[in-house]
């Protein structure tokens, strides 16, 4: 690193990609403790304004950094540390961490300290990533604004009067501002992709079942996913390599070296005929169209695809989430006996969940099978589908309704509308930055691929990312 002042060095270190940081660590030009101290300094400086972290594990992180530093010094000839070895990361605070408080953003679990790690935390520890803390989230991951009544709202680093998005909003704000290099979030109706889009980072919801949700406080087990959030597609790939389970026989496991070699050529990209471009802010629509044009410049071919049953799936997905969330909270003895300890929005949804009829819950899965067939039919003709991640940019904190194209819509409805289909079908979906509005707010491009095709999805996203400059933009912070 250049010999500059402490603040400048901190900024440079915190802005590194995981790949660049890993190379500098292997060459011993920097140490894991350098990276940890840079991350902790950013947390100390920025977290009071953004409220991204609920728990900071500074002592543990410094201890692990010193252990990693010794490992690099005594490394045997021919042995190569993994890409996450010595890299500061965070975890959403519904993911169990042994010996570290895991609140799920709730008052009810405010003092819960797990005795065991989640599978995700275990895999990251095995990769020698360094945990710097647990991030704020919408209470019990059941919301999209990250306006938490118990721990405060996570503020958007691009405009602090606006929401970060939820429920993984603390992770998105922390990654965007260099308080960590990556995080793992959860996504039941867009909770990785929504905050990633609103905060200008990359976020991946993998194929359903690829990343274990074992010992993650559940929202809806039929819809819950866990996945990586980072500042670049390459960094997403490195985290996914560490946390992913087994792929089916014949599926290509994502690998940074393979992605670098195998740039996609003659891409066939689907442009949805229905649903995804209805009630979308004109600036968002224009930036997503520009992203599609950039793919065409790279040799891709756009083809209109039909997904005729998408309009039918939103209420069924809602019924599944309502019923399964209510059942979990009842089974733990939290609701309704402790209803006064919940925020009003989560409490009201749990009450609604108790009213979902069994016949409607079961019928919802029939609808999802039809919608899944629509997507699978489209993927016989195209490699992936392009869409906006969200129809709007970040709403104001406290805003309940917004206007889109002259029509009023609740913030919740607007932010989940374009994300929920991929949760219902289980297809992998990524959000990557595709531009900024005149007001300077980030816009996300969503790319959806066939199940178990994360390698293809990440390669497509990487090709676009490297052909643009959006990943290099950072929020201006004081």
pLDDT along the chain (478 residues), means of 10: 67 95 95 98 97 98 97 71 96 98 98 98 98 98 98 98 98 98 98 98 98 98 98 97 94 81 82 97 98 95 97 96 98 98 98 98 98 98 98 98 94 98 98 98 98 96 95 85
How, if at all, do strands 155-156 and 152-153 pair? Answer: unpaired
DSSP secondary structure letter of residue 100: B
pLDDT at 477: 77
Which residues are within 8 A (CB) of 319 and not within 5 positions of it... i.e. 6 or more apart?
356, 360, 361, 364
pLDDT at 265: 72
d(CA 409, CA 187): 22
What DSSP line would sit under 218-271, residue for residue? -S-TTT-EEEEEESSHHHHHHHHHHHB-PPPTTPPPP-HHHHHH----S-EEEE
- DSSP for 376-416 reads HHHHTT-SEEEEES-SS-PPBTT--EEEETTEEEEHHHHHH
Domain boundaries, the chain: 6-472
What's the rounded Cα separation, in Å, for the pair 474 and 163? 17
Q: Quick check: 387 and 275 in contact, CB under 8 A?
A: no
The neighbouring-strand residues paired with 325 are: none
Query: Which residues are known catalytic residues?
Result: 92, 167, 191
> Cα(first)–Cα(last) distance of the chain, in Å?
23
- The number of beta carbons lying within 10 Å of the beta carbon of residue 256 is 19
Helix (H, G, I), strand (E, B) or coil at 95: strand
CATH code: domain 6-472 is 3.90.1300.10
Cβ(449)–Cβ(383) below 8 Å: yes
User: Packing angle between helix 32-50 and helix 18-26, nearest 10 degrees?
Assistant: 150
**Cα–Cα distance measured from residue 405 to residue 389, given in angstroms and rounded to the nearest whole number:** 17
Question: What is the arrangement of strands in the sheet containing 225-230, beginning at the earlier edge strand?
Answer: 53-56, 130-135, 88-92, 182-187, 225-230, 202-205, 429-436, 442-448, 384-388, 268-272, 301-305
> Whole-model pTM?
0.97
């Amino acid at each position: 690193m250049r010999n500059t002042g402490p603040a400048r060095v901190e900024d440079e270190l915190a802005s590194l990609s995981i790949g660049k940081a890993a190379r500098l660590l292997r060459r011993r030009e920097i140490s894991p403790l350098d990276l940890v101290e840079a991350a902790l300094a950013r947390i100390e400086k920025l977290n009071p304004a953004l409220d991204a972290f609920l728990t900071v594990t500074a002592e543990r992180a410094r201890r692990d950094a010193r252990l990693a530093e010794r490992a690099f010094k005594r490394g045997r000839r021919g042995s190569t540390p993994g890409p996450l070895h010595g890299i500061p990361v965070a975890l959403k605070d519904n993911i169990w961490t042994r010996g570290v408080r895991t609140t799920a953003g709730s008052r009810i679990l405010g003092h819960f300290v797990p005795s065991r790690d989640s599978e995700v935390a275990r895999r990251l520890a095995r990769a020698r990533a360094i945990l710097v803390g647990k991030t704020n989230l919408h209470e019990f991951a059941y919301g999209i604004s990250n306006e938490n009544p118990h721990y405060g709202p996570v503020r958007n680093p691009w405009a602090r009067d606006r929401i970060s998005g939820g429920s993984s909003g603390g992770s998105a704000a922390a990654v965007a501002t260099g308080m960590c290099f990556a995080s793992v979030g959860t996504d039941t109706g867009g909770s990785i992709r929504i905050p990633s889009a609103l905060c200008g980072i990359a976020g991946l919801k993998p194929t359903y079942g690829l990343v274990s949700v074992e010992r993650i406080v559940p929202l809806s087990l039929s819809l819950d996913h866990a996945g990586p959030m980072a500042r670049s597609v390459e960094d997403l790939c490195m985290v996914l390599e560490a946390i992913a389970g087994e792929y089916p026989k014949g599926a290509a496991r994502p690998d940074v070296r393979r992605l670098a070699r195998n740039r996609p050529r003659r891409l066939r990209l689907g442009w949805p005929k229905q649903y995804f471009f209805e009630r979308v802010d004109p600036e968002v629509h224009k930036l997503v169209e520009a992203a599609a044009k950039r793919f065409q410049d790279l040799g891709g071919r756009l083809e209109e695809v039909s997904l005729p049953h998408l309009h039918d799936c939103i209420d069924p997905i809602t019924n599944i989430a309502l019923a399964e969330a209510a059942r979990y909270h009842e089974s733990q003895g939290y609701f309704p006996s402790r209803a006064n300890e919940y925020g009003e929005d989560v409490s009201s949804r749990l009450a609604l969940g108790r009213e979902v009829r069994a016949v409607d819950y079961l019928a919802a899965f029939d609808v999802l099978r039809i919608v899944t067939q629509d997507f699978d039919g489209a993927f016989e003709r195209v490699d992936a589908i392009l869409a906006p991640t969200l129809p709007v940019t970040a709403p104001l904190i406290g805003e309940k309704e917004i206007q889109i194209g002259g029509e009023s819509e609740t913030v919740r409805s607007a932010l989940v509308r374009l994300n929920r289909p991929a949760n219902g079908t289980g297809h992998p979906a990524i959000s990557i930055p595709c531009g900024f509005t005149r007001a300077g707010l980030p816009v996300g491009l969503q790319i959806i691929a066939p199940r178990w095709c994360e390698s293809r999805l990440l390669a497509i996203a990487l090709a676009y990312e490297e052909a643009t400059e959006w990943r290099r933009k950072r929020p201006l912070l004081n």
